[in-house]
Structure 1
Amino acid sequence: MIFAQNLTKMLYQPWPWYVSGPLIALIMALLILMGKRFGMSSNLETFCSIGGAGKFSDYFKIDVKSKRWNLLVVLGSVIGGFVGAQLLSPNPAVNISDKTVTKLQELGFDSAGTAYLPTELFSVESLADPKVWIILLVAGFLVGFGTRYAGGCTSGHAISGLSNLQRPSLIAVIGFFIGGLIMVHLLFPLIFTV
């Protein structure tokens, strides 16, 4: 009984780095030993290949069977996200600093601190605004282009690439951080104060 209570208590809190970090390292070591690469963007490539994109572009002519295992990662992420949000989050508020909430609310994001995705951009009602469509389409294009240009996504480079000690992944991760800082501190206020 006490074990179940402690387990439940542990699941309702964020895991400390000394638990989650070694678990990530263990998974990465197993993937490296099995000759597999981890990354979420490779799943999009597989989905496009399954959907028939190989008929239009040689890039998508890949062996889908060898990448099926990675599709389980997507399924696990969806299920894990649902379980985490619906069953293990007694408080739906997002735990970010009050200063960040204030700055976001000044930019018009009244849902800051209460929703994981800002309803000002991701609700059905917000899709009536052409500016939201433009922002989402441009952002989607930039993410897709950047992922393809960098040869992988943030998780692929930062977790898998750095675990393999790949110099291109280190360069990509540094670029991701610099790009993120430029976006948050320079471009984000320009986009949302207009």
Structure 2
Amino acid sequence: MDIAWSVFTPWHSLAGGLLIGLAASLLLLANGQIAGISGILGNLLQRTGLQNWRVAFVAGLILAPLLLLPLLPATGPFRPSVPVAEPMDILRLLAGGFLVGLGTRMANGCTSGHGVCGLARFSPRSLAAVLTFMLAGFATVFIWRETWGLPL
């Protein structure tokens, strides 16, 4: 059995989804901003003046998992050992990162902006983007497994 399915916990998933929705709602209500990661990060790097809320948002994305790490069990699926990356793994990582970045530019947003915030606002553009993301993901997994017979 694949480890991802053997440790699936619907209550943890539900709690995570509720927290993401709550955070996105609070950012929209308190700041009038959409919680789209690519837009927040992209505008943070532009020379339009530093906006503290963007810095805080990105810092939270980076620091929250690091702060929670001591609370996780010493072993298990949520605390995997990190082997030394092989050159092919690094190339796959770079290619994947490039393709994700290209996709977010083509879709004018990422899965968080379109999937969480856009769908919640009933945006037709976000619905089209999310359907495209999902279909491309399904096709990629299918082709990967059928071509090489390997799990992702």
TM range (shorter): 0.7 to 0.9
Which 5+ residue runs of structure 1 have no aligned equivalent? 1-13, 50-60, 96-113
Q: Does the alignment pair 1:71 with 2:55? A: yes
Over the aligned positions, Cα root-mean-square deviation in angstroms equals: 2.9
The letter for the 1-side match of 2:107 is A
Structure 1 residue aligned with 2:114:
157
Q: Determine if contact 1:39/1:155 at 8 Å carries over to the other structure.
A: yes
CA shift, 1:70, in A, is 2.3
The letter for the 1-side match of 2:66 is F
Flag as ranges the 4+ runs of structure 1 deviating above 6 A. Answer: none
Q: Determine if contact 2:41/2:58 at 8 Å carries over to the other structure.
A: no
CA shift, 1:176, in A, is 1.3
Which 5+ residue runs of structure 2 have no aligned equivalent? 1-10
The letter for the 2-side match of 1:88 is L
Give identity over the alignment, percent: 30
Question: How many angstroms apart in 1 are the aligned matches of 2:23 and 2:44?
Answer: 23
Structure 1 residues 68 and 190: alpha-carbon distance in aligned structure 2, compared to 1, 3 A threshold? farther
CA shift, 1:42, in A, is 2.0
The letter for the 1-side match of 2:33 is K
Q: Which range is displaced more, 141-150 or 174-183?
A: 174-183
Structure 2 residue aligned with 1:9:
none
Question: How many angstroms apart in 2 are the aligned matches of 1:165 and 1:116?
Answer: 41
SS for the counterpart of 2:76 is: coil
Structure 2 residue aligned with 1:41:
38
Structure 2 residue aligned with 1:109:
none
Structure 1 residue aligned with 2:22:
26
Structure 2 residue aligned with 1:82:
66
SS for the counterpart of 1:182 is: helix
